[in-house]
Amino acid sequence: MADPFRLEGRIVAVIGAGSGIGAACAQAAATQGAHVVCLDVNEAGAAATAAAIIRGGGAAAAAPIDITDAAQTDAALAHIKVTHGRLDGLVCTPSINVRKTLLNYSEAEFDRVVSVNLKGSFNAVRAAGTVMVPQGAGSIVVFSSIRAVAVEPGQSVYAMTKAGVVQLVRGAACEFGTAGVRVNALAPGVVETPLTAPIRANREWYDAYASKSILRRWAQPDEIAGPTVFLLTDAAKFMTGTVLYVDGGWLAADGRFTPPGM
């Protein structure tokens, strides 16, 4: 039997491939044999990731995308179909966060976070489904977060969008499933990326987050990429409409106190 964890012959698009988790996902998919199309609003970043994949012996291309623009998102994924004949996998990682309490949140900030995290995810899922449903196969992975179920002050709007992504994924899974298209969410905990650099610069904040994980540390991007790529493979072919938490046990533990005698 062919290795169900491999992606040879598959065309995989990774949105957010210009840096951080998206770049790690693109590289991991290429390592498993996929031809990866690296997409990012930062075209130079996407091109750099594609170049790194090619230097490593993989197959990749790069193109710009702004997932808040529905027409551009549709066109980018349709172009992959025209160029390669199909689209087998999509990973959508981008999100933003404005850390403010509700009473200090502006309407413009609310619109910005919702536009990227929720509308952008919707645009990506719809565009991928438009290609995959007629071809009768495909796997879509959209990024949610532990904040979909566990919140802290200053994260209300971000958490709302990440909970919305979960329901978007479930609804799309219901609608696309009979055509053989799977849709799942990947929910990370805290990850060391350029976007979390301000938190890492504050030692007390960094250590507080590390202590919430059973593993007592933050994740690295490649530790999120592995489970993401798994969802693209045939090893996960009976998984759809679900959320895969990759959080170092953050949501499993209800506290740090160890009872006497333990």
Catalytic residue positions, numbered: 158
b/e string for 112-128 if b means 16 or more Cβ within 10 A?
A: ebbbbbbbbbbbbbebb
Q: Which amino acid is at 112?
A: R
SS3 call for 39: strand
Closest listed residue to residue 233, CA positions, set 33, 45, 60: 33
Closest listed residue to residue 235, CA positions, set 32, 38, 25: 32
Q: How many residues does the chain have?
A: 262
CA angle, 241 then 244 then 245, to 5°: 145
E runs forming strands in the chain:
11-15, 35-40, 59-64, 89-92, 138-143, 181-188, 243-246
Q: Are 26 and 60 in contact (CB under 8 A)?
A: yes
**CA 167/CA 116 separation, integer angstroms:** 16
Closest listed residue to residue 227, CA positions, set 34, 5, 15, 13: 5
